[in-house]
Amino acid sequence: MKVVFSHGKESGPWGTKIRALADLAKDLGHSVDSLDYTDTMDPDQRVSRLTSYLEKETSEVVLVGSSMGGYVSIVAASQLETQGVFALAPALFIPGWKHQSYPVLSENIEIVHGWSDEIVPHELSIRYARESNTTLHLIEGDHRLNSSLDEVLRLFKAFLLKL
């Protein structure tokens, strides 16, 4: 299985969190890739880039996204078949963004969100989890979840193992 990462608005494709998650995925025998969206701040251009990438992919894929990358991963998963989505503080229901509803095509979606997120309110993840009947982990931490990286890694490992 291939794990494909989508970074947040102001981060890069191989930031600290993605590197740690990618190393864990590789340790579990998965291949990994992380798309570079640093040339555009438009979330829907990022969705198009990811769906174009996925249309050419022959392996089963799991999408992992953080913040805007969570939005990108969830929207892409609503358009193409995936094995699952692991979203960290996904930027959902953001006014002005094209997608405001998120049909669920994958049964395996989990969200991790920090209680102290000052950028994307955790209430938005609660709303999505309620509407889509998906698993939500509310943990200590802010938007970046760096202070809770060990917990994020534990949850990600459990997610990958159940697939």
Kindly list the strands in the beta sheet with 84-88, ordered across the sheet, starting from the edge strand earlier in the chain. Answer: 31-35, 2-6, 61-66, 84-88, 109-114, 135-139
**0.95 exceeded by pTM:** yes
CATH assignment of 2-162? 3.40.50.1820
3-class secondary-structure state, position 36: coil
Q: Tell me, what amino acid is at 83?
A: Q
Q: What is the pLDDT of residues 86-111, one digit of tens each?
A: 999 999 999 999 999 998 777 899 99
